[in-house]
Structure 1
Amino acid sequence: MRTAIVTGEYHIGGETFINRHIQHLFGGDTVVVCGRFHGSNPYDKAWFARRERPTTTDLLTAPYWMMRNRILHNTSRLPFGRAKRDLTTFLRDQKVELILAEFGTQALAMAPLANELDLPIFTYFRGTDASKAIQTERMREAYRRMMPRLAGVFSVSQFLLDNLARHDIRHPDSVVIPSGVDVRRFVPGQKQPLSCLAVGRFVEKKAPLTTLRSFAEATRDLPHARLDFIGDGPLLAPAQALAEELGAKERVIFHGSQPHDFVRGKLATAQFFLQHSITAANGNTEGLPTAIQEAMACGCITVSTRHAGIPEAIDEGKTGWLVEEHDADGFTTAIGRAMQATDTGEMASLARRVAEERFDNDVLLKKLETHIRATLA
C-alpha cells in the first residue's frame, strides 16, 4: 500500500521511529513529504519538500489564502498556489494510496488536501504535538476541526490521547502504538556495577540539572559510581559547571551529541538509566521516551518520573522506580535505593522481557499495518 510519510524535516538520524516507517512500512513502499529537505536521502525515496520558495503570484495571493484557511480550518498551515499544485502532482505521480502524518501538526497541513484527493489520512501523536502545541485555543480548535477529516489516529501513549481528550479533541478510531525499539540490536551487555546513563537533549523537559544533582547526592559515599550524559543543548554548559561545583566532575562524563550506535553501546553496559522528565513551562511533555524503551531492551533499571507515558512502560519496584515531577529529594532517594537493591539482576531481566513483549518494533509495525488495513476495509 503506497504510503506518503509526512514529517517536518528529512532526513534526521535521531528520528528513528519515523525513519523506520519510511524504510519498512508496508514493505518499504513509501515516499516522503517533508517541510524541509536537509540534503540526505539514505533510503533512496521519492521526496517532496513543501516549503519551497513561493512564486510572486503566491506571495501576492497569500493574505487571501491564509485568511480563507484560517476561517475554514482555524490554521494557515495549508499549502496553496504552486505548492499545492506541485504537491498534488507529486502524490498522483507517485500513485500514493495513503497518507501517514507523523505528527498532529503535520496532519493539519495535509488533511484537507488528502480529503480533496480522496486519500485516507492517519496521524501519529508523539509528544509536543499533543502537549505544547495545544496551549492555545486556536490550535485546539484547529485539531477539533481536523479530527473528522482523519481516517484514524495513533499515539505513542495513552497519556497523549487523554491530554487531547481533556480539550475535547477526540477521534473514534484512536489507538496506542508505542514507537518501539529494535530488540534484536538493543540487547544487554556486560553491566558495569554502579554505572548510570542519561540520554537526551539538555533542555528543560529533561531536567538534566536535577538528574545530575540527585546522582551526586545519592552517590556521595559511592566513589565508584559513574554517570554518563549523552546529548547537547542549552543546559549542557550549566550542567558541566554544576558537576564541578558539586565536586562530581571525576564521576560524571559529558559525551555531547553522539551517533545512535554509540548510545546503544553505552546502554548495553549501563546498569541504571536516569531520566527526570518534567512538563516544561510552555506545556511541552514527553510522549513515551524512546530512550527508556531502548534502556529497558538493554536490561537497564530505570529511575524516572511519573510523567506522560513513562508509567505505561515502567512497572514501579519491578523494572525501576518513579517519583513525582520536580521531586528532587525523591529522585535522590530512588537512585540510592536502586544502587542498594539486592535483586538488580532479576529487575534487569524483567525489564528486558517487558521490552520484548511491549516494545518490539517489528511487532508494533505489523500492528500498525494491520490496524490501517482494518480501518480502510
Structure 2
Amino acid sequence: MRICITRSSRFAYSETFIRDQINGIAQWAEVHTLHSGRLPEKKEDGSPLNSKLFWVLHKLVKGFLGRNNYFGEYGIKKYLKEHKIEVVLANYGMPAAHMAPICKKMGIPLIAIFHGHDATDKKLLATYKDKYIRLFQDAHYTIAVSEEMKKRLLIAGAVPEKLVLIPYGVDINKFKPIESNAIKNTFLAVGRFAGKKGPMYTIRAFSKVLLRFPQAKLVMVGGKTGLYEECAKLVSELGIQDSVEFTGILNSEQVAQKMSEALAFVQHSLTASNGDMEGTPLGILEASASALPVVSTLHGGIKEAIIHNETGYLVEEKDENAMADFMIKLLEDPERAQQMGINGRKHISKNYHQETQIRKIYDLAASTIKN
C-alpha cells in the first residue's frame, strides 16, 4: 500500500507523535510525506513541490480569490499521481480541509487526523466552518484522539459513522520505570509553555508545596518561547529560583531519563481564552508509561489517560490549591506514589501501546482501499 502522510511542519519538536506515526506505518506500507504549510509546499527532503513561478502565481491568485488554486495544487497532484498514492493521511484539520478537494478530484481516499487546537480554537473553527463541513463529508474517515475531541468534532459537523477514536500511543520500551533507591522529591513538567498547558498554575501550585517540603524540586522541560518569560518572571517573584529548573528543549531519550529521576509528573492543562484545548497530551502518556503518578486536570483526553486515585490525581481547571494538596500527598506517601505509577504503566500498556495505536490507523487506511 502506498500512503502519503501530510503535516504542517517537518521539524516541530513538539510533534513527536507524527514522527512516530510516520515511522510506525512505514513498517507495513510504502510511506511518502509532504509538509510545510496548511496546503503542503514541500517534499520530505525539503525540495519544493512547485516551481518558483507557480509558487508566486499561487500566492497572487490566492490573494485575489482568497482560496487555493490550480497553481498551488499542481505540484501536489503531480506528486500523488507520480507516486501512485492510494490513500492520504492528513495531520491536523486545516491541512486536511485543503487536501480534501484535491483528493476528491483525484479519487484518492482521505483520512483526516485532528490533534487539539484544530478542533477547539474558536477563531479557527469559525474561519474553517464551511471547509470543515465539506471535509467531514468528503473524507473517508476522521480521527479524534480523545472522547472530548469526538464531542467537539460532532458539534462542528463531523459525520458520526465516519468518526473514529484512536488516541496516541507510547513506546513503552523507551518510556519505562528504572529502579532506583534514591529518595525522589522532584516533580517533572514537559511541554511547550503554552496557555492551554497552564505552566503558571503549575508553578504557583509548586510554590505552595515548598511551604511544606522546602527540599522539593520542579523541573520544567520545553522550548523557551510562548509563556516562558512570564513563567521565569513568576519564579523570580515567588523567590523559588533555587527550586525550579528550566531545561530548554530535550530529546525523547533525555526526557525519559528525567522521568526516571522524578517522583511524579505535573501538568495543569486548561482551556485557553481562545477555546484551545489539549487532545491527549503525549507527555502525560509517556510519564504514566514510565510509572510516574500524574497530577493534572479534568481536561480533554487526560480524563481517559489518568484514572483519578488510581494512576494519579485530577483537579478542576485553575484549582492550583487542590493541585498543591495532591503533590504534597505524593511527597508524604512515596509508597503510594510508587503504586500509582505501577498502576499507570499497566493502564498505558493495555490502552495506549504505540504499535497497537498506529496499527489502528494503518488498518483504517487499508480498509479505505479495500472498500
TM-score if structure 1 supplies the norm length? 0.89
CA contact (8 A) 1:34 1:50 kept: no
| Matching of residue 334 in structure 1 with residue 326 in structure 2 | yes
Question: What's the counterpart of residue 167 of structure 1?
Answer: 156
> What SS does the corresponding residue of 1:299 show, helix, strand or coil?
coil
Q: Report if the CA contact (8 A) 1:159-1:308 is conserved.
A: yes
Q: CA offset at residue 36 of structure 1?
A: 5.0
CA contact (8 A) 1:32 1:46 kept: no
SS of 2:128's partner is helix
| Structure 2: runs of 5 or more not aligned | none
Give the whole-Å Cα distance in 2 for the aligned partners of 1:270 and 1:190.
12
Q: Is the 8 A contact 2:33 2:44 kept in 1?
A: yes
Q: Give the superposition deviation at 1:276.
A: 0.2
1:153 is matched with 142
The equivalent position to 1:276 in structure 2, one of 268, 276, 283, is 268
Distance 1:47 1:29, change over 3 A: farther
1:217 aligns with 2:208: yes
Are residues 92 and 190 of structure 1, via their aligned partners in 2, closer, same or farther at CA, if it must alter by over 3 Å? Answer: same
**Structure 1 counterpart of 2:175:** 186
Confirm or deny: 8 A CA contact 2:122 2:274 kept in the other structure.
no
CA separation of 1:53 and 1:160: change in aligned 2, threshold 3 A: farther
Residue in structure 2 matching 1:321, options 296, 313, 322:
313
2:11 is equivalent to residue 3 of structure 1: no
Query: Residues 15-54 of structure 1: matches in 2 within 5 Å?
Result: 15-27=15-27, 28-36=29-37, 49=48, 53=52
Contact 2:191 2:221 (8 Å CA) reproduced:
yes
Counterpart Cα distance in 2 of 1:240 and 1:58: 43
1:249 maps to 2:228: no
Q: Specify the SS of the correspondent of 2:76.
A: helix
The answer to whether structure 1 residue 294 and structure 2 residue 295 are counterparts is no
Asked if structure 2 preserves the Cα contact closer than 8 Å seen for 1:99 and 1:122, the reply is yes
Shift of 1:133: 5.6
Report SS of the residue matched to 1:228: strand
Distance 2:258 2:51 in 1: 40
Whole-angstrom CA distance in 2 between matches of 1:53 and 1:294: 42
Deviation larger for 323-332 or 138-147: 138-147
Match among 222, 231, 236 for residue 239 of structure 1 = 231
Amino acid across the alignment from 1:10 = R
The yes-or-no answer on 1:347 pairing with 2:336 is no
Alpha-carbon deviation of 1:267? Answer: 1.2
Q: Could you tell me how far 1:172 is from its partner in structure 2?
A: 1.6
> Matched residues in 2 for 1:234 and 1:86: separation?
34
Q: Percent identity?
A: 27
The structural deviation recorded for 1:25 is: 1.0
Which amino acid in 1 is paired with 2:95?
Q
Q: How many residues are treated as equivalent by the alignment?
A: 361
Is the contact made by 1:5 and 1:30 (CA closer than 8 Å) also made in structure 2?
Answer: yes
Contact 1:5 1:21 in 2 (8 A): no
1:59 to 1:101, Cα distance in 2 relative to 1, 3 A: closer
Structure 1: distance between partners of 2:70 and 2:100: 17
Query: How far off its partner does 1:87 sit?
Result: 1.4
- Contact between 2:57 and 2:71, CA under 8 Å: does it hold in 1? no
For residues 235 and 46 of structure 1, the distance between their equivalents in structure 2, rounded to whole angstroms, comes to: 32
Matched, 1:117 2:106: yes
Matched-pair contact (CA < 8 Å) for 2:14–2:192 = no
Q: 1:137 aligns with which of 102, 107, 126?
A: 126
2:298 and 2:51 map into 1 onto residues whose CA distance is 42
Q: Contact 2:154 / 2:160 at 8 angstroms: preserved in 1?
A: no
